[in-house]
Amino acid sequence: MNKVVLMGRLTKDPELRYTSGNNTAVASFTLAVNRRATAKEGQPQADFINIVAWNKTAEFCQKYFTKGQQVALVGRIQTRTWDDNEGKRHYVTEVVADETYFADSKRGSEGGGGSAPRTYSESSASSSDGFYPMDEDSDELPF
């Protein structure tokens, strides 16, 4: 099974581009994910993980995610190789984001209480699992 769950802060705004062949949206960004600090290290260290999102998830990330924001995502690890013009082989390991989430608190985020969606995944648009999003600030229960 290849499944990754990460939470961290964006090191810069996501970059959105479109593939030349079929004009598919692809966003790339780097997530700084803190490691657990050990007694010897004292200070927490971070891993900088390259993330790629495709299609509507890519457009969502570019529209709503900004540098410094804390986000969470669910995806999979992917490795690629390619040869450059000089014949040198390059290896890349990245996470392909299938689901993306805001992880900052509403009070802590800029703009406080905007109307932006809180999550997005490709499957959520056509999901019929019986669950519906609800306003977290509401005191009313749906039943």
The answer to the question of residue 29 being in a domain is yes
The residue range of the domain holding 84 is 4-126
Residues 71-84 have pLDDT tens digits of 999 999 999 998 99
Closest C-alpha among 73, 68, 92, 66 to residue 81? 92
Within 8 A by CB and 6+ apart from 29, the residues are 10, 11, 12, 13, 14, 15, 51, 61, 65
Q: Which residue has the higher pLDDT, 87 or 135?
A: 87
Is the pLDDT score of 39 beyond 70? no
21-25, 90-94, 132-136: the lowest-pLDDT one? 132-136
The answer to the question of residue 138 being in a domain is no
Percent of the residues in the chain that have a pLDDT greater than 90, as a whole number: 63
State the total domains in the chain.
Answer: 1
The answer to the question of residue 133 being in a domain is no
- Backbone φ, ψ for residue 20 (5° rounding): -75, -30
Q: Give the CATH number for residue 31.
A: 2.40.50.140
Q: How far is CA 138 from each of CA 24, 49, 134, 141, rounded to the nearest angstrom?
A: 37, 35, 8, 8
